[in-house]
Structure 1
Amino acid sequence: MDKYDWKANIKMNIWTLRVLGLWPKGDESYEPGLYALHAAILLVVFLLGHLFFQAANIYFIRDNLEAITGTIYVLLMEILVVFKVFYVAKNMDMLKQLLKTLESDLFQPKSAEQKALIESSVYFWRIIYQLLLIMCCGCNLFWALFPLLDKTAGERRLPFLAWYPYNTTTSPLYEITYVYQIVSAGFFTTVHVNVDALVTAITVFNASQFDILIDNLRNLHVLTDSTGINDKLINCIEHHKQTLSYAEKCNKFLKWILLVQFFIFTISIGISMFELTLLVPLSSEFLSLLAYGFAITLQILMYCWSGNEVEVKSRNIPYAMFECEWTDFPEDVKKKLLFFTMRAQVPVKLSALNLIYLSLDTFMKAKRFVKSKSNFSILF
């Protein structure tokens, strides 16, 4: 069977991040050179520049609570993107090592059935990724169109409230600034979506290792020779050990991203839900906020679902051992299987510093929190 290419599932994410200056060639991290210069220019102009002009504007609108609440939820998500970019850049070696580890023979699918199990998980991950991309693009589109469709204002408006050291209401500065904000928002969105997709894909690959391991354990009895069964069991034990090590490395990479993500999520979604109650239903600004809320929810779902897959599939390992015809195994193999079963009783859980665990239960709690906050906003 041909070697499975794990990176083929995320080649579009890697290519996109490379164009945006966030993925150096090969297994390397950032080195002084043209690519580092390319990355620095894009990040300073479209990432830090856009964030700085919006943050500076907070000082000038500090007495206008409505304007501040209309800016802060976007500003928080942009701060999250900046944090993710610099965190990924700093830990690029760790991220690429996680992908390289998957190329080892131990982590390769051994049959067409195991490959199908991997494709099933990747397919669902791809659906969430595409939905998230659509929601974010829709949100950017509404932000871009809102100033053009808004007939209530008597002056030229920009998509985002920001301060610039020049008059943005005169041509051609208005048009240039308008395009700059739209391009910057697109840059933020593309980076945010693809970083999240790449990170969660690694978690999905981790869950797929448990799929491979479970299938191998269920088919231990296929080999009738006692020596063959013993060797296959030892290989499964080593695979389990390496998969746990891989999960630990994933969790080490994820923990700070998850902590900051959930913290900003709770604040941003609460503010955006409150803002929805103040807008005219089905207006362009209302639809942009609605798309924004759906996009954030999908982001959290992507992380929680991928973490939930790791936990659920790791729980199934002991059951897979009992599904093989272990009653006919030699006594020494039965003892090894028993100890392995005891060791595999504890499921793998990905978390943010053991404070927030990635699971669908966490997602539902977050959803109920958002619902309670939105109800409070309406009552308020």
Structure 2
Amino acid sequence: MCSNKNFDWTRTIRTNTLMLHLVGLWPNSNENYELNLYTIYAFISVVVIMGGNNFFQVMNIFFVYNDLEALASTVFITITYVQTSVKMCFFMQNIGLFKKLLRSLNGTELEPKNEDQIEIVKPSLKFWKTVHAWFFSTAAVTTFTWSVIPLLSKSQCKQLPLAAWYPYNHTISPLYELTYLYQTVGVWYLAVANVHMDTLMVALMMYIAAQCDILCHNFRNFTNSNKKLHDVNRQIIDCVKLHRGILSFGQDSNKFFEMIIVLQFFTSTIILASTMFQLTLVKPVSKEGLLRIMYATGMTTQIFMYCWFGNEVEVKLRKTFFGLGRVKFEKGFDVLSTFVRSRK
């Protein structure tokens, strides 16, 4: 089987890499960050814009910790953005490994060999795109609503999108407008980074599951009795190479996102609990209630992605290594018999 050079695994995630590039998390080089203008921009984006927003929100906690309602209102969103910043640190630290994984996808071992295999992996790619679109849409609507609610408020007091402490009076012009702009840009940067880092990591799981589908397809189709023995030998060797490639890809993927997933599940539990508590303090049909419902929907989708695609990997690995997909026992016996005859 010859490889299909027209297929590119990374085409599916180009939107992710583009959006991450816009917020300073995807350098153009093949490996890590280099000393250039983009690295300077990444520093401004990650440290000044996103990190600065987190710092001022965390500082606000020390001024409202005596008020349970205000504390819960501050903590549930602050934890989200702080864990996003920590996630970015792990992501940037291992960006070279991630790019290595993407290059290996288009290598000889993991590349689809024919049109049938491309058709097999298309449903997985399409489902991932659907989940990505839903998660991004949910995050975008929530972030937009969060950004404009203070502008629609009839209160005489000037409000910001997020509760934060600043070492100056941010209620007077033009400091209010500048602070509002700073917060809004920071919130959007954090939302874009969070969504596309998560969907990029579950894309690795999706790729592993798709590779398992290809391996099962190979097992189902290399027992044609009309094939010569040396062709069967070659196909068995191809299956072994693909199997080893999947294992190597899975191990490297686990190194990349294992700490990130632990952090995500830990913080998401706290965030969802805090959000549910917030819903008990407001009317569900009010703008505050609807905003928190949208926020909880986004967080639930975030956890759903990791659980769903992680389960897909486990299920398909079991099918591949124990059941060989839909391969019948008789067919598998024919494969072994053919292989034994070919070695004589």
The TM-score normalised by the length of structure 1 is: 0.84
Residue 281 of structure 1: aligned partner? 284
Counterpart code for 1:319 = L
Counterpart amino acid of residue 115 in structure 2: A
In the alignment, which of 319, 323, 328 is matched to residue 324 of structure 2?
Answer: 319
Hey, what does 2:163 align to over in structure 1? 161
> 1:3 touches 1:108 (CA, 8 Å); kept in 2?
no
The residue matched to 1:106 in structure 2 has which SS? coil
**Which segments of 5 or more consecutive residues in structure 2 lack a partner in the other structure?**
none
Aligned to 1:201: 203
TM-fit CA distance, 1:194: 0.8
How far the C-alpha of 1:34 sits from its partner, in A, is: 1.2
Alignment of 1:154-303 (within 5 A): 154-222=156-224, 224-303=227-306
Match in the other structure for 2:24: 21
Alpha-carbon distance, 1:148 to partner = 3.0
d(CA) in 1 for partners of 2:332 and 2:135? 45
Distance in 2 separating the partners of 1:120 and 1:328: 30
Separation in 2, partners of 1:267, 1:29: 33
1 CA distance for matches of 2:263 and 2:333? Answer: 49
Q: Give 1:301's aligned amino acid.
A: F
SS at match of 1:181: helix
Aligned pair in 2 of structure 1 residues 172, 236: CA closer, same or farther (>3 Å)? same
**Counterpart in the other structure of 1:61:** 64
Of residues 10, 13, 34, the one that matches 1:10 is 13
Q: CA deviation at 1:38?
A: 1.0
For 1:280 and 1:328, the matched residues in 2 are separated by: 66
| C-alpha distance 335-255 of structure 1, shift in aligned 2 (>3 A) | farther
Highest relative contact order (Cα 8 Å, sep 6+), 1 or 2? 2
CA deviation vs aligned residue, 1:121-168 (integer Å, no higher than 9, x gap):
0111111111111111111122123223344x4411111110111111
What is the 5 A alignment of 1:111-122? 111-122=114-125
Separation in 1, partners of 2:48, 2:317: 44
Opposite residue 331 of structure 2, the aligned amino acid is E
Identity, % of aligned positions? 35
Give the alignment's Cα RMSD to 1 decimal.
Answer: 1.9
Please name the residue that 1:108 is paired with.
Answer: 111
Mapped partners of 2:162, 2:336: distance in 1: 71
Moved more, 48-57 or 275-284: 275-284
Q: Structure 1 CA distance, aligned partners of 2:185 and 2:244?
A: 46
Structure 1 residue 74 displacement after superposition = 0.7
Q: TM-score, normalised by structure 2?
A: 0.92
Alpha-carbon distance in structure 2 between the residues aligned to 1:255 and 1:310: 15
Residue of structure 2 equivalent to 1:348 = none
SS at match of 1:301: helix
- 3-state SS, counterpart of residue 223 of structure 2: helix
Work out the CA distance in 2 between the residues paired with 1:63 and 1:80.
Answer: 24
| Deviation of 1:332 (Å) | 6.5
